[in-house]
Amino acid sequence: MAQDISVFGLTGNLTASKTFPNGMSISEFADDADPLDSPDLEIADMSMGPNGDTITWSRPQLIEIVVNVIPQSQDDLNLTALADANRVAKGKSSARDEITIVWTYPNGMKVTASDGKMVTGPVVQSGSSNGRAKTKRFAFRFGQVTRQNPTN
């Protein structure tokens, strides 16, 4: 039997402790960038001492997740509001939201990213030279990620 690896139907439910305590859906993904991306994580490192002894150690790392959404969509408006609420500036306070996102994949797998913060996000709509609004890229970093595999 062939493995169906489609992400058609991928959805996320984001909760932000102050800005979106009841949650918001993420499903309006852009067509010109990866909808959901998570760079490879370095979980360990290795070296060799001057006499050829192997030395290894584990490396704690934050887990980055990047979401690309359709410009001017409801997801974009909500994520932009979240970025603005957490942005600091003179005379402006930050919401300091703690963020959790639960991703539900078409095969039923659920991935929960918790203990997180939004780390980058555009607050102004950019445009490309061909007249198209640029895709909005929002990045988050999380302290914990858990996975619940689908039941067959």
Long-range CB contacts (within 8 A, 24+) of 13-16: 13/101, 13/102, 13/104, 14/82, 14/99, 14/100, 14/101, 15/99, 15/100, 15/101, 16/82, 16/85, 16/95, 16/97, 16/98, 16/99
19 HSE (CA, 13 A, CB side): 25
pTM for this predicted structure: 0.91
Residue 3 lies in a domain: no
pLDDT tens per residue, range 8-34 = 999 999 999 999 999 999 999 999 999
Residue 92 lies in a domain: yes
Q: What pLDDT is recorded for position 118?
A: 98
Work out how many domains the chain is built from and give that number: 1
Residue 1 lies in a domain: no
Range of the domain at 68: 11-148
Residue 67 lies in a domain: yes
Looking up residue 64, the CATH number of its domain turns out to be 2.40.30
Distance CA 146, CA 137 (A): 23
Residue 44 lies in a domain: yes
Residue 15 lies in a domain: yes
Instruction: Identify the band that residue 152 occupies on the pLDDT scale cut at 50, 70 and 90.
Output: low
Output phi, psi for 14, to 5 deg.
Answer: -100, 130
Residue 5 lies in a domain: no
**The pLDDT of residue 5 is above 90:** no
| Mean pLDDT (whole number) for 37-41 | 95
Residue 77 lies in a domain: yes
**Which residues make Cβ contacts (< 8 Å) with residue 124, sequence separation at least 6?**
none
